Amino acid sequence: METSTKTARELYEALKADPRRRRFGFGRKPALVNVDLQNAYTRPAEFATAYETDPRQIEHVNKLAILLRAQGCPVIWTYVAYLGSGEDCGVWGTRADMSASLKSIKADSRQAQLDDRCDIDRDRDIVMNKRMASAFFETNLGSLFTFHKVDTVIVTGGSTSGCVRATVVDSLSRGFRTIVPEECVADKHESPHFANLYDMAAKYADVLPVAEVVDFLESYKPL
């Protein structure tokens, strides 16, 4: 194992600056998956479980959603919520340091509601309740993408080190080109945030400035 005195942020910045770094690139048809932009994770003033990395995160996500929607591309919003008993949280909810943040998110609670700053088209967008980390796990996301002939998945939301990373790894594993707009993902702490941006950029996704993703979508024409 290599050792280094660099921080996770410094390692990530060095990787981004490497001109030899190859990209997966955009494919023929993108979809947008916004992971758990719900009050439990987006309202730090209300909930201890929430976090903020870029204060314009939701603004950027909304811009992406508008652009994809305009081209007939799928826009998906996921959230986590559980039964009153919490038993559908499974073993994930048994950890003492996680049970309060997970099992306490009930389906009818404010914590479970998607942040009202999110621009959601309730007639067209797909809103999906997931119960585990990945947006693909035991949901119909994969079959939806097959139906829509999607080959590129843009992932936003939180947390970078948790549900975003799990969704990104599953996306690549299912053969999708995967894009992470850097300003559109967030985490509780700086070190895991940048460590996971580094790991995703090195192995599983193209981690790009949101402006570059916007530029692609503004020039995108459906085939």
Which helix (DSSP H) or strand (DSSP E) does residue 138 occupy? Answer: none
Residue 206 in tokens: 């193209």
Cα 31 off chain centre by:
12
Q: Are 12 and 194 in contact (CB under 8 A)?
A: yes
Cα–Cα distance between 42 and 161 in angstroms, integer? 15
Return the closest-CA partner of residue 192 out of 57, 5, 99, 53: 53
For residue 15, give the 3-state DSSP assignment.
helix
Alpha carbons within 13 angstroms on the beta-carbon side of residue 159 total 18
Residue 89: active-site member: no
Q: Which of 73, 89, 118, 163 is catalytic?
A: 163
- Give CA separation, 199 vs 31, 153, 155, 205, in Å: 22, 17, 15, 9
Q: Report the catalytic residues.
A: 163
